[in-house]
Structure formats: C-alpha cells, structure tokens
Amino acid sequence: MLAGSLAILVLVLALLIAALLRRPAQSDDSERGTGLWLWTLGLAFPLTTLAALTVYGLQMGERLLPRDTPDLVTVTAEARQWAWTFGYPDAPGLATDGVLHIPAGRPVDVQITSRDVVHSFWVPRLAGKLDALPGHVNVLRIEAPAPGTYSGQTAEFNGAGYAGHVFTVQAHDPAAWVRFLQEGPP
C-alpha cells in the first residue's frame, strides 16, 4: 500500500512539474485534453486502483473476523478509568488486573466492555483496536504466535490517566496455560 501510494504521488507530482515546465506558445482556452486529463487520469485511473484496494482491504477484514474454530478460547476484558480487569470463563472466579493471560498459538476471543467511559483495547502486535463501550460487548479475535509478553494499551482518550492506561498480554505455552487456569497467576 505504501509503495503504491508512493508511485501515485510520484506520478501526480511528475505530471504537475511537466505541466509547469511546458510553455506552449499560445495558451489554449479550449476543452481539448478532457479525454486524457479527466476521463483517463481523473476517472478511470482512481476507479481501477481503488476497486483493487477496496476488494483487497475487505478480504483482509474478512480473514480477521472472529469465526468459529474448535480450539477457541474466550476471555473477558473490562475497562475502567484507568485499569483493565480480565476474566476467564474457563476458570470461573479467576480475574487478573492489568495482565491478560492467553494461550499462545490458539485463537482467542476477547469480549470487551467498559464500566464507565469509552476505552479501546489495543495490542499492536496481536490485532487492531476495538472499543470498550459501556453497555455493549465487542468481540476481538487475537492470536499470539509464540509464548511471551505483548504490550497493550488503551487507544481512545479517556481522561487524565490516559497516558498511563496500559496493560500487558502474557501468552503461555499449553502447560503453563493449564497451570494458570488451575492455580491463577504465578
């Protein structure tokens, strides 16, 4: 997308410079040139690039949708000013503050909601962001490729404590995940 954008930018600026350098002997007040400038460059060119880009973007979005899979894990995330509490339906009663524990290598659905204002759940390396809205539950599909720690943050301005409103995601290997569900955080 970046390379394509750069190519378009270079094309437009090159045409602009060519237009500036061109000094016809006589100014042309006619409407000649609509075929090239308007039909081709103005209309056909963006239509084709945008069509390709839109289709590509929508397909990508489709692949990121939370679909049913057999080894799905569900966790909950509740935001408030300025903390996150995570819950684990697989281990009722278990709750962690500020650290979300997930199994690595398995798709995880995060059910996101808020107790007060609008927040947004964002772990840049795992997925895009999804808002935490009071009264609504939004589901985000994430999957950690390998065990480890991933940093996450709130990404919707939520008042004085916004800058420090961060959390981490701890991805466990299968054994550690089972241990976590039984014994809670180490």
Partner 1 sequence: MTQKPPRRGTALRLHRQLERIWSPDPRFRGWLTTNNNNDVGRLFLAVATLFFVIGGLLAMLIRAQLATPGSAFMGPEAYNQVFTMHGTVMMFLFAIPFFEALAVLLLPGMLGTRDLAFPRLGVYGLWVYIFGGSAVIVAMLMGLSPDGGWFMYPPLSSAAFSPGIGADVWLLGITSIEVSAIATAVEIVVTVLRYRAAGMSLSRMPIFAWYILVVAVMILTAFPPMILGSLLLETERALGWPFFQVENGGDPLLWQHLFWLFGHPEVYIIFLPAAGMIATILPVMARTTLLGYGWVVAAAVSLAVLSFGLWVHHMFTTGIPHLGLAFFSAASTLVAVPTSIMIFSWIGTLWKGRVQMKLPMLWLLGFFATFVIGGLTGVMLAIVPFNWQVHDTHFVVAHLHYVLIGGYVFPMIAAVYYFQPLLTGRFHYFRLGAVAFWLVVPAFHITFLAVHVVGLLGQRRRTWTYDEGQGWELLNLIASTASFVMAIGFALVILDIGITTFSGLRGKRNPWGATTLEWAAPMPSPAYGFASIPIVRGRYPLTDDPDLPQRIARGEGYLADTSRNRREALIVTTTTGKPLQVAVMPGNSALPILLAVVTSTSFLAPLVQAYWLSALALVGVVIVALVWVWTTAPRQSEGLVDAGHGARLPVAAESPDPPGWWGSLFLLVADGVHFGSLMFGYAFLWTVAPNWPPPSYLVPTLLPVLLALGGAAALAAGPRLAARAVATGHRTALALVLSLFGALSLATAAASVMLARQDPAGHAYDAALWLLAGHVGFHAALAVIMLGYLALRRISGHGLRVGEARIVSLWADFTAATGLVALAAAWLPGTFA
Partner 2 sequence: MTNILRLALPFTIWLIGFSAIYALQGLTCSRHWPEELEPRLALIGGAAVFVVIQGLALAALLALQSQSRFVQTAATILGTAALAAALWTVLPVLTITVCG
Query: What do you get for the CA distance between the two ends of the chain, in Å?
Result: 43
Helix (H) or strand (E) holding 106: none
65 binds partner 2 per the rule CB under 8 A: yes
Whether the CB-CB separation of 98 and 83 falls below 8 Å is answered with yes
For position 60 contacting partner 2 by CB under 8 A, the verdict is no
Query: What is each CA distance from 72 to 87, 99, 111, 131, in whole angstroms?
Result: 15, 20, 13, 21
Q: Is the CB of 114 or the CB of 170 nearer to partner 1?
A: 114
Q: Enumerate binding residues for partner 1 (CB under 8 A).
A: 1, 5, 8-9, 12-13, 15-16, 18-20, 22-24, 27-34, 36-38, 41-43, 45-47, 50, 53-54, 56-58, 60-62, 64-65, 81, 112, 116-118, 120, 124, 127-131, 133-136, 138-139, 153, 155-163
120 in Cβ contact with 130 (< 8 Å): yes
Residue 146's binding partner among partner 2, partner 1, none (Cβ under 5 to 8 angstroms by kind) is none
66 makes contact with partner 2 (CB under 8 A): yes
